[in-house]
C-alpha cells in the first residue's frame, strides 16, 4: 500500500482536541470527590454513598466501552465523539440538580455510559490521525489529560470555584459550557476513517482457527493482509494474543491507581496522622505523576519498544510503592514516591489501553479492541477494586489497601512481560496494512 501524504496539521489539531475532550472526561468524573463534603451536608449522604456513586459510574463506563468501541467502527468516529461530549456534559449539569442518592446514581450511571463511549472512540481516532513513529507519543498525550484535569487540577478547580459561586450546584452546571464548545469544534474538525491517509505499517488480519493448529502456530506472528470483507465482530479481538494480556495488565494498573486515588487521602490522615492541607498536597502527586507518565512512557516506547519500556516503568512503580508503604509522615518524600508510582502505572495504563490495543489488531477492529481492553479493566479496576479496598480498610485496617495496589502492579508487570512487541520500529514481522503486529492465538 502506498501511503498518501500525511496532513501533519490535522494530526496536531486532532490530538489536541481529543486530549482536551479526555481531560474534560476526567474532570467531569472526578470533580465530585472534592465537592462531596459539601454535597453530604445538603443531600444527607455518607462515605458509603460516595463509594456506590463512584463504583456505579465505573461499571457503566466499562460496559459502555465494551460495546461502543465496535459500534464506532461502524457508525463513524465523529458521530460517537460529538454525541458523547454533549451527553456527558448534560449529565454534569444534571448532577448539580440532583436531590438525593437515587438521582445521583441515575445521572452518574448515564454519565458513565457516555464517557465509556467516548474513551475507546477517542483512542482509535488518535491512532488513525497519527503517523506510525509518533503514535505512542500522541496517544500518551491524548490520554494524559484525564489524570491532569481529573485527579491533579480537579480538586484545585473545585475548591477555588466554591469561593466564588453560590454553591456546589453551580460548579457542575458550569462544566456544561466547555463540553458544548468541544462538541462543536469536534464536529468541525475530526475526520472519518475513510477521509484519512493510509500508512505502511503493521497489523495482522484475524487468524482463522483450524483443528490442526499447534502450540507453536498459536504463538507465531500472524501477518495476512486485512481485507474490506473481514467480518467485524467483538469476539474477533480475542484472536490476538496481546488483547487478553492487555486486559489483565490494565486490570492491575487500574486497580493500583483507583485504589490509591480513593484511599490514600484517608490513609494519610487516619494512619499517618497528616493534616488535611498537607494530605491534599501529597495526594496531588498521583494526578501530576500520572500526567507526566502518560506523556513520557508512551513516547519512550516509540523508540525503545512497548514491552521493555512498560516493564521497566512498572518495576520502578513497584519499588516506589514499597517505599511509600514503609515511609513515615514526611510530606515531600511521600509526594515524590506517589508521583513516581503513578508515573509508572499510568504510563503503562496508557500504553495498554491505547497503543498496544490498537496496534495488535486490524484497522477494522481498532476501536473494538480499545473498547474491550478498557471496558473489562474499567469494570474490575473502576468498580470491583475500590469496593474490595473498602472491605479491606473496614475489616483489617486501611494500611492493607496499599498491598492490594501493589498486587495490581504485580499482575500488570507479569502480563506485560508476555506481550508481543507492536512498536513499528521494533515489531518482528510487520504486515502490509494497519498499524501494529500481534501474535495470533
Domain containing residue 123: CATH number? 1.20.1250.20
pLDDT (0 to 100) of residue 213: 36
Alpha carbon separation from 36 to 41, 66, 168, 187, 264 (Å, rounded): 9, 29, 9, 34, 16
Q: What is the pLDDT of residue 315?
A: 96
Q: pLDDT tens, position by position, for the chain (441 residues)?
A: 344 455 788 888 899 999 999 999 988 887 887 777 778 778 887 766 777 787 788 888 878 877 776 677 777 788 899 999 999 999 999 999 988 889 999 999 999 999 888 988 888 888 888 877 777 778 778 877 888 888 778 777 877 788 888 888 899 999 999 999 999 999 998 887 665 655 443 344 434 333 333 333 333 333 333 333 344 456 778 888 898 999 999 999 999 988 888 778 778 878 888 876 677 778 788 888 988 888 888 888 888 888 999 999 999 999 999 999 999 889 899 999 999 999 999 888 878 887 888 888 887 777 778 778 878 888 888 778 877 887 788 788 888 889 999 999 999 999 999 998 887 766 554 433 344 444 455
As a whole number of Å, the CA-based R_g of the chain is 21
Dist. CA 263–CA 35, nearest whole Å:
16
For residue 224, the SS3 value is: coil
> Residue 390 is placed in which grid cell?
473498602
Backbone angles phi, psi at 440, to 5 degrees: -80, 155
Domain count, the chain: 1
In a domain, 434, yes or no: no
Which cell is 195 given? Answer: 477521509
User: H/E element holding 147?
Assistant: helix 135-147
Gap between the Cα atoms of 77 and 71, Å rounded: 9
How would you class 439 by CB atoms within 10 Å of its CB: exposed for 0-12, middle for 13-18, buried for 19 or more?
A: buried
Distance CA 2, CA 160 (A): 53
**β-strand partners of 290:** none
Three-state DSSP class for residue 31: coil
Cα gap 221→440, rounded to integer Å? 6
For residue 440, list its beta bridge partners.
240
Domain contains 428: no
48 closest CA partner among 283, 391, 378: 391
- If one counts every other C-beta atom within 10 angstroms of the C-beta of residue 286, the result is 25
Q: Which residues pair with 221 in a beta bridge?
A: 439
CB 432 within 8 A of CB 270: no
Q: Which three cell numbers stand for residue 253?
A: 494498573
* Region at 66 (left for phi over 0; alpha for psi -120 to 50; beta for the rest): alpha
CA atoms within 13 A on the CB side of 378: 26
Instruction: Report pLDDT for 45.
Output: 78
What's the CA gap between 227 and 363, in Å, rounded? Answer: 10
CA distance 171 to 157: 9
E strand residue ranges, 27-117: none
- Answering whether pTM is above 0.75, one says no
Supply angle C-alpha 205, 124, 129, rounded to 5. Answer: 100
List the one residue out of 367, 355, 334, 344 whose CA is nearest residue 422. Answer: 355
In a domain, 291, yes or no: yes
Residue-level pLDDT at 218: 35
Indicate whether 389 belongs to any domain.
yes
Spatial CB neighbours of 8, under 8 Å, sequence gap ≥ 6: 131
What pLDDT is recorded for position 271? 85
Has residue 392 been placed in a domain? yes
* Cβ(190)–Cβ(78) below 8 Å: yes
Nine-digit cell string for 153: 487540577
Task: Please give the pLDDT value at position 203.
Answer: 41
Say how many residues make up the chain. Answer: 441
Pick from 196, 207, 195: which is nearest to 361 by CA?
207
In angstroms, rounded to a whole number, what is the distance separating the alpha carbons of residues 312 and 32?
Answer: 34
Q: How far apart are CA 121 and CA 65, in angstroms?
A: 9
Q: How far apart are CA 317 and CA 340, in angstroms?
A: 6
C-alpha grid cell for residue 235?
A: 469476539
Residue 431 lies in a domain: no
Please indicate, yes or no, if residue 440 is contained in any of the structural domains.
no
Q: Residue 426 falls within a domain, yes or no?
A: no
pLDDT at 427: 59
Distances (CA, A) of 365 to 131, 227, 358: 18, 12, 8
Range of the domain at 351: 8-206+217-416
SS3 content of the chain, % helix, strand, coil (to 5): 75, 0, 20
Amino acid at each position: 500500500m502506498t501511503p498518501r501524504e500525511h496532513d501533519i496539521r490535522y494530526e496536531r489539531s486532532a490530538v489536541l482536541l481529543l486530549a482536551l475532550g479526555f481531560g474534560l472526561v476526567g474532570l467531569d468524573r472526578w470533580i465530585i470527590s472534592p465537592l462531596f463534603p459539601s454535597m453530604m451536608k445538603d443531600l444527607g449522604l455518607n462515605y458509603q454513598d460516595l463509594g456506590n456513586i463512584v463504583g456505579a459510574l465505573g461499571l457503566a463506563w466499562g460496559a459502555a466501552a465494551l460495546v461502543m468501541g465496535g459500534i464506532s467502527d461502524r457508525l463513524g468516529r465523529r458521530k460517537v465523539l460529538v454525541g458523547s461530549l454533549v451527553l456527558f456534559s448534560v449529565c454534569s449539569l444534571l448532577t448539580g440538580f440532583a436531590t438525593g442518592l437515587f438521582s445521583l446514581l441515575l445521572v452518574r450511571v448515564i454519565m458513565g455510559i457516555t464517557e465509556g463511549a467516548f474513551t475507546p472512540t477517542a483512542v482509535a481516532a488518535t491512532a488513525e490521525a497519527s503517523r506510525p513513529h509518533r503514535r505512542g507519543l500522541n496517544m500518551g498525550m491524548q490520554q494524559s489529560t484525564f489524570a491532569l484535569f481529573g485527579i491533579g487540577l480537579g480538586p484545585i478547580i473545585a475548591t477555588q470555584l466554591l469561593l466564588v459561586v453560590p454553591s456546589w450546584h453551580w460548579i457542575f452546571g458550569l462544566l456544561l459550557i466547555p463540553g458544548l464548545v468541544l462538541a462543536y469544534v469536534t464536529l468541525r474538525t475530526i475526520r472519518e476513517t475513510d477521509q484519512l491517509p493510509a500508512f505502511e505499517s503493521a497489523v495482522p488480519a484475524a487468524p482463522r482457527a483450524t483443528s490442526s493448529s499447534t502450540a507453536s502456530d498459536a504463538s507465531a506472528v500472524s501477518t495476512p493482509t486485512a481485507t474490506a470483507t473481514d467480518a467485524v465482530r467483538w469476539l474477533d479481538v480475542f484472536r490476538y494474543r496481546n488483547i487478553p494480556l492487555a486486559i489483565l495488565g490494565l486490570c492491575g494498573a487500574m486497580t493500583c491507581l483507583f485504589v490509591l486515588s480513593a484511599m490514600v487521602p484517608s490513609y494519610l490522615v487516619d494512619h499517618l496522622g497528616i493534616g488535611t492541607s498537607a494530605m491534599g498536597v501529597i495526594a496531588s502527586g498521583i494526578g501530576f505523576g500520572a500526567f507526566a507518565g502518560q506523556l513520557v512512557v508512551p513516547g519512550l516506547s516509540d523508540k525503545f519498544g512497548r514491552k521493555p519500556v512498560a516493564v521497566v516503568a512498572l518495576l520502578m512503580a513497584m519499588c516506589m510503592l514499597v517505599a511509600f508503604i514503609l515511609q513515615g509522615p514526611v510530606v515531600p518524600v511521600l509526594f515524590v514516591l506517589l508521583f513516581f508510582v503513578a508515573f509508572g502505572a499510568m504510563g503503562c495504563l496508557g500504553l495498554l489501553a491505547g497503543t498496544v490495543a490498537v496496534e495488535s489488531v486490524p484497522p477494522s477492529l481498532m476501536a473494538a479492541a480499545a473498547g474491550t481492553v478498557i471496558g473489562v479493566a474499567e469494570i474490575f479496576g473502576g468498580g470491583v477494586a475500590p469496593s474490595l479496598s473498602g472491605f479491606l480498610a473496614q475489616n483489617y485496617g486501611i494500611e492493607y489497601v496499599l498491598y492490594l495496589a501493589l498486587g495490581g502492579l504485580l499482575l500488570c508487570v507479569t502480563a506485560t512481560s508476555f506481550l508481543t512487541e507492536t512498536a513499528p520500529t521494533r515489531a518482528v514481522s510487520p504486515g502490509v496494512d494497519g498499524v501494529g503486529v500481534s501474535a495470533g492465538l
